[in-house]
């Protein structure tokens, strides 16, 4: 149980375009979802926390207008990287938790490459 | 402020030998501690957690971790390492105020045949 999927697993886009990454909880209701960014050989950097039906809370230094997060349902959150640039290339990981759970359940990640 | 430290960037162990990956933490309340493993270009896989109870926690793939309150440590251990254990290991503590995870920097574990 507690499976989280991400789509796509890999995406290549051109500079200036936008790309959407989906995060789904497959067998539970995700009251809270988290979006992380991971640079090569580094730890996870929390970008934002989103509660279903509410606006996401962004961490300091993360541009809200560039990284649009939507958590419209209890099973789906999306991260849209707008006007992507090569420096946005990274590994993006989402996680989710349900009400009362101690842990977060992680998606498999999305490798974004901006050319 | 809550924090997690993984003092070793890399740990090298010969196959068949016991392994230890170190983690120390600092929290204001009760610690909820986690270990995750990440294989190349993959997401994180949960190994084990400590919430309360026995100090020795058993997890996936033969791993275990010992919670030591006096030393504020939560070291990950395995009695006999496998080459397939080679991966990146992260220790994390949960922030009770917002359910966020505070992450260690990660330790690269290399098991040599």
pLDDT digits (tens, 9 = 90+) for B86-113: 999 999 998 877 778 899 999 999 999 9
Mean pLDDT of A52-56: 85
A93, A102, A106: residue with CB nearest B94 = A102
Give the C-alpha separation, B63 to B61, whole Å.
6
pLDDT digits (tens, 9 = 90+) for A76-113: 999 999 999 999 999 999 999 998 888 889 999 999 99
Give the C-alpha separation, B25 to B90, whole Å.
12
The residue in chain B having the minimum alpha-carbon distance to the alpha carbon of residue A108 is: B43
Measure CA A96 to chain center.
10
pLDDT attached to residue B12: 98
What are the helix (H) ranges across chain A?
A: none
Contact of B89 with chain A, judged by CB distance below 8 Å, is answered with no
Q: Tell me the pLDDT band of A29, cut-offs 50, 70 and 90.
A: very high
Is residue A3 a contact partner of residue A104, using CB atoms and an 8 Å limit?
no
- Min Cα separation A94/chain B (Å): 9
pLDDT attached to residue B74: 97
Q: Is A76 exposed, middle or buried (0-12, 13-18, 19+ CB in 10 A)?
A: middle
A-B contacts (CB, under 8 Å): 50
Residues of chain B neighbouring A59 (CB-CB closer than 8 A): none
- Min Cα separation A17/chain B (Å): 24
pLDDT attached to residue B56: 96
Q: Evaluate if residue B41 carries a pLDDT over 80.
A: no
- Min Cα separation A106/chain B (Å): 6
> B8, B43, B52: best mutation site toward chain A, by most A Cβ within 10 Å?
B43
Q: What percent of chain B has pLDDT over 70?
A: 100
For chain A positions 5-64, those within 8 Å of chain B (CB to CB) are: 6, 32, 34, 41-44, 46, 49
- Rounded mean pLDDT of chain B? 93
């Amino acid at each position: 149980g507690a499976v989280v999927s991400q789509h796509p697993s890999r995406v290549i886009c051109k500079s200036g375009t936008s790309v959407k990454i989906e995060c789904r909880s497959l067998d539970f209701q995700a009251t809270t979802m988290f979006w992380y960014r991971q640079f090569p050989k580094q730890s996870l950097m929390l970008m934002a926390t989103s509660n279903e039906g509410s606006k996401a809370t962004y961490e300091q230094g993360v541009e809200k207008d560039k990284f649009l997060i939507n958590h419209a349902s209890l099973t789906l959150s999306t991260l849209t990287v707008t006007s992507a640039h090569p420096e946005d290339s990274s590994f993006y990981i989402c996680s989710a938790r349900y009400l009362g759970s101690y842990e977060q359940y992680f998606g498999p990640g999305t490798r974004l490459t901006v050319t | 402020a809550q924090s997690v430290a993984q003092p070793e960037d890399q740990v090298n162990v010969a196959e068949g030998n016991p392994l230890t990956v170190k983690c120390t933490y600092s929290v204001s309340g009760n610690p909820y501690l986690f270990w995750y493993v990440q294989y190349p270009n993959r997401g994180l896989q949960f190994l084990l957690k400590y919430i309360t109870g026995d100090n020795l926690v058993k997890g996936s793939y033969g791993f275990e971790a010992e919670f030591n309150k006096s030393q504020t440590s939560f070291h990950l251990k395995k009695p006999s390492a496998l080459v397939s254990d080679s991966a990146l290991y992260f220790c994390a503590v949960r922030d009770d105020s917002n359910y966020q995870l505070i992450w260690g920097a990660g330790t690269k574990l290399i098991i040599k045949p």
